[in-house]
Homo-oligomer: A and B are copies of this chain.
């Protein structure tokens, strides 16, 4: 059954008259076309009782020839904001499922004002997107494999005295050369690694630093996202102890990636281990996120999510421990939820790399 037919069935089962997809990734999932949205409206409408269409700005009409035939093509020019054309496609649909984590207030209130009853239904399409098919799993495995090559380059390249900026730039160039459409290498040194979202900058690597290397990249529409750590010279006691604790936490969390467990369980499994040593550092984030057409997508591995995991879901599992002023250690793999045992999509060894001077 086509993805559009699956969405139609899910919309009908949810009591919706139509489903309105507006996020880049959902549009890509349904049509094979990934928009460049900026301020412009793009949307896919799927009616529960059949029919549907794709709304794009006129200047994107040349890009959508590969979209499924069953979707009517509707475009609008610069004199419109696309909402009249979207309303036309919605027709008489009253209860319309929307992606509440993407649809902006300007559009939700305009649709409400036209009498549409908006039903938050992001889960309806994420239920489909979350369970990856074999082709999608292989796409993510390939992305991971190219990221593994980037690690080989990173550990070969980085030396005391090199700046974060230079190293990240080399990794980005390498991944783009390999064909990445987007890439977020995020390698931090020493005390900067204690702030997981710090911007890589002019900090140069010094003897004794930890290196926390988070590398994500998108190939053929699908993301991989891995994190490994190293030390410049022999690890300090702190680095050695944190690394071992984080590895134990990662093992425990990966083991929970089986059908029936919940994101809350996965997060608890790693946090229980990390929190045994508050003297070593602090837990600053959840256990991970689903990954696929988006680098971060639901379900998120955080305590408030209790929907059971299902076969084919792919999560990053990425425990970390951070000590302000000193550094941070995180280990991240992309893990397929499988009956029996989870499958890790990368083959990169879990080791604390020791960089020679």
Taking Cβ atoms with an 8 Å cutoff, the residues of A that contact B are: 36, 38-39, 57-60, 62-63, 77-81, 98, 100-106, 108-109, 118, 120, 122, 169, 172-173, 176-177, 194-199, 267, 284-286, 289, 295-296, 298, 300, 302-304, 324
Contact A104 B100 (CB under 8 A): yes
Q: Which of B38, B109, B176 contacts A100 (CB 8 A)?
A: B109
The answer on a CB contact under 8 Å between A296 and B176 is no
Residues from chain B with a CB closer than 8 A to the CB of A118 are 105
Expressed in whole angstroms, the minimum distance between the Cβ of A200 and any Cβ of chain B is: 10
Asked whether, in the complex, the Cβ of B101 is within 8 Å of the Cβ of A101, the reply is no
B residues less than 8 Å from A267 (CB atoms): 78
Residue of B at shortest CB range from A75?
B284
Q: A197 touching B63 by the CB < 8 A rule? A: yes
CA distance A60 to B196 in the complex (A): 8
Number of copies of this chain that the complex holds: 2
A–B pairs, 20, beta carbons within 8 Å: A39-B296, A39-B298, A58-B285, A59-B197, A59-B284, A62-B195, A62-B324, A63-B198, A78-B286, A78-B302, A78-B303, A79-B304, A100-B104, A100-B105, A101-B104, A101-B106, A102-B105, A105-B108, A106-B120, A172-B176
In the bound assembly, the distance between CA atoms of A289 and B81 in angstroms comes to 14
- Rounded to whole angstroms, the CA-CA distance of A203 and B197 in the bound complex is 37
A146 to chain B minimum Cβ distance, whole angstroms, is 15
Closest CB-CB distance, A227 to chain B, in whole Å? 14
Which of B108, B196, B199 has a CB less than 8 Å from the CB of A59? B196
Q: How far is the CB of A220 from chain B (nearest CB, A)?
A: 12
* A100–B196 alpha-carbon span in the complex (Å): 30
Q: Are A296 and B103 in contact (CB under 8 A)?
A: no
| Known contacts A62-B198, A120-B109: A39-B172 contact under CB 8 Å | no
Contacts of A80 in B (CB 8 A): 304
Closest Cβ of chain B to A19, distance in Å, is 14
- Return A23 CB to nearest CB of chain B, in Å: 10
On chain B, the residues within 8 Å of A105 by CB distance are 98, 100-105, 108, 118, 120
Chain B minimum-CB-distance residue to A295: B38
